[in-house]
Chain A
Amino acid sequence: MNDDRDNGTMLADPPASNDRLSFHASDITNSFQLDVTVDRALPVSTVARSLAARLGLPDSTPYALRDAESETYLEEESSIGTALKPGAAVVLTPKAHLG
């Protein structure tokens, strides 16, 4: 394996990783659709809460992000960057119960 440093040259550092993630979100009734770009490091719970607030949804209800393809809620304490792939679609789902 060539070691470029033997020749007095250095490989440039790889480009800085993209620290932003873009994805799509909608609500249960499909009344809203959002294009979202977030810092990858933000927790899923923070992103869900912020999206709900931006849509003027009730503050009293917790919201989760549900992957539109699978059946699963995204882990709330995971960073959004590890929980979602770029361009994914999620549904902003209220964790509300009838009573």
Chain B
Amino acid sequence: MPAIIDSLRCPWSLSIVLHTKDDGPVLASEPVMAGDLFPARAEAWMEACLRHGCPDITIESVSMEVSPLRISADSAQASGLRIVATNPVTGKHGSVDVAIEGLRHVAARASRRLVAQGILKEGDTYVYLLNAEKGELAAPAETDGIETSVVHAPLLCPRIELDAVLARAVPYAGAGTAEASGPPWWPLLFTRDAFERAERYARAGEAATPPVETGGMLVGMTCSCPRTGELFLAITDVIEVRDADQREFSLLPSSRSWKSVQAIVRSMRAENPALQLLGQAHGHNWVPAGPPCERCATAAVCARSTCFASLDDGDFMRAVFPRAPWALCGIAGSNVRRDRVWKLYAQRGGVLEPRPFHLIDSFDLAHPPVSITPTHRTSHASNEIAARPVRR
């Protein structure tokens, strides 16, 4: 088991089972790997620690337990998973329920293999179910000849009174605004300048023929309110993704893209070490398919838009921000009426969901005065994990 998940207790062998659409025979059984649960595990850490005034507790020091949400007592089938994290300082729990949709990427992994084997064709549909039986969580085989010592960078969270900041902010009310539903989201603020640039970079590809996807990386701070203990984010800058492979339905950053982004972030952090990459915004700049529907003339809002978080978007967020459950996926698009639409997605239950946010004129650490959270150091002699200052 990788050292990074030694604190995870999962006495279950989990698998995603694919069936033909008409509930026919099993097509494949794909094990749920430890890495598949990491984003949800990070979300449980956020709920147990970061949203309760403990931003300096690392994910590695939080014990967690995974249990299936059973459909029935006598069935191995589950409707999802529950991950419960225990705050090592307060002893309180934070939990995340991952619906089966939150494991869609596991089903997709199996389906890609089935397509490569010729068992399924591109575009074929299937049903996927979650099975949970007593056993162990699958982990990839360790490769001989490799030794690692992992250092986890501390999360720097300026302590800022949230009420004072929200008093200067207004809720975003543009087209695509997400309704506030379900448990309360952690607050999110965008400076107006950063929001304008995020949308400009995302929509830059509209001008191409055919339109292509373009975008930028979001930069800002994770903050902690000293009064409520709540975590909140402030997006203060956006770095355009350049030198990328831009296509009609995809945006692939190149090695030059990443080098440039990282160099800019490094220079930003020289002034403010709390700044970090907090997500991305990109444009689904293609024209929505199909004519307007029969409700077009009377519906107040057109719901048929290109603003949706795709499977590729989810894979990208899991790969680039595995330890950042607060990471944002902004999507600029349009609807069938050709109205411009903007949606911001964040992780909830392991799935990207649209969420509301606020706009603020400015956000800087000079006003009000703040302190940087002290570094939390942990060491695990058995697996050689030790914390030390991040190498710049």
User: CB within 8 A of B312: which of A38, A71, A97?
Assistant: A97
Chain B residues within 8 Å of chain A by Cβ, number:
59
Are B2 and A54 in contact (CB-based, < 8 A)? yes
CB closest residue in chain A, given B144: A39
Contact between A99 and B148 (Cβ–Cβ < 8 Å)?
no
Per-position contact with A for B143-157: 1 when CB-CB < 8 Å, else 0?
111111111110000
CB pair B153–A30 under 8 Å, yes or no, is yes
Taking CB atoms, residues of chain A closer than 8 Å to B318 are: 58, 60-61
Distance of A55 from chain B, by nearest CB (Å): 6
Is there an interface contact between B153 and A99, defined as CB atoms closer than 8 Å? Answer: no
B5 — which chain A residues lie within 8 A by C-beta? Answer: 56
CA distance A57 to B89 in the complex (A): 27
User: Which residue on B lies nearest to A63, using beta carbons?
Assistant: B319
Check if A73 sits within 8 Å of B255, measured CB to CB. yes
Q: Which residue of B lies closest to A73 (CB)?
A: B255
By the criterion CB–CB under 8 Å, are B258 and A53 in contact?
no
Verify B152–A98 contact, CB threshold 8 A.
no
Query: Which A residue's beta carbon lies closest to that of B241?
Result: A98
List of B residues within 8 angstroms of A98 by Cβ: 213, 215, 250-252, 280, 282, 312-313, 316
B321 interface contact, C-beta 8 A: yes
Tell me whether B259 and A66 are in contact (CB under 8 A): yes
Interface size class of A (residues with CB under 8 A): 35 or more
Kindly name the residue among A30, A50, A58 whose own CB sees the greatest number of chain B CB atoms within 10 A.
A58
Complex CA distance for A98 and B316, rounded to whole angstroms: 6
Known contacts A30-B390, A56-B322, A99-B213; is A66 also within 8 Å of B258 by CB?
Answer: yes
**Shortest beta-carbon distance from B96 to chain A in Å:** 16
**Are B251 and A57 in contact, CB atoms less than 8 angstroms apart?**
no
Which has the most chain A C-beta neighbours within 10 Å: B36, B38, B150, B311?
B150
Taking each of A54, A64, A72, which has the highest tally of chain B beta carbons within 10 Å of its own beta carbon? A54
- Report the minimum CB–CB distance from A9 to chain B (whole Å): 38
Instruction: Give the docked Cα–Cα distance between A29 and B226 (Å).
Output: 26
Whether A99 contacts B149 in the complex (CB less than 8 A), given A54-B4, A72-B255, comes out as: no
Q: Is the interface of B mostly helix, strand, loop or mixed?
A: mixed
A56/B148 in contact, CB under 8 A: no
B148, A35: Cβ atoms under 8 Å?
yes
Which residues from 123 to 177 on chain B have a C-beta closer than 8 Å to any C-beta of chain A? 139-140, 142-153
Chain B neighbourhood of A52, CB < 8 A: 35
CB-contact partner of B250 in A42, A49, A94, A97, under 8 A:
A97
Alpha-carbon separation in the docked complex, A36 to B146 (Å): 7
For B391, give the chain A residue with the smallest CB separation. A33
Contacts of B34 in A (CB 8 A): 56
B200 within 8 A of A: no
Q: What's the minimum C-beta distance from B56 to chain A, rounded to whole angstroms?
A: 15
Decide yes or no: A71 and B4 within 8 Å by CB, A59-B109, A98-B312 being known contacts: no
Please indicate the chain A residues that have their CB under 8 angstroms from the CB of B323 in the complex.
29, 31-32
- A1: interface (CB < 8 Å): no
Does A47 lie at the interface of the complex (its beta carbon under 8 Å from any beta carbon of B)? yes
Partner of B315, one of A54, A71, A96: A96
- State whether A59 and B33 are in contact (beta carbons under 8 Å apart), knowing that A93-B255, A97-B316, A99-B311 are contacts in the complex: yes
Give 8 pairs: A residue, B residue, CB < 8 Å, sorted on A.
A28-B262, A30-B390, A34-B149, A35-B149, A58-B35, A60-B318, A97-B251, A99-B249
6 closest A-B pairs by CB: A99-B312, A39-B145, A94-B319, A97-B252, A50-B143, A61-B319
A interface residues with partner B (beta carbon < 8 Å)? 24, 26, 28-39, 42, 46-47, 49-61, 63-64, 66, 71-73, 91, 93-99
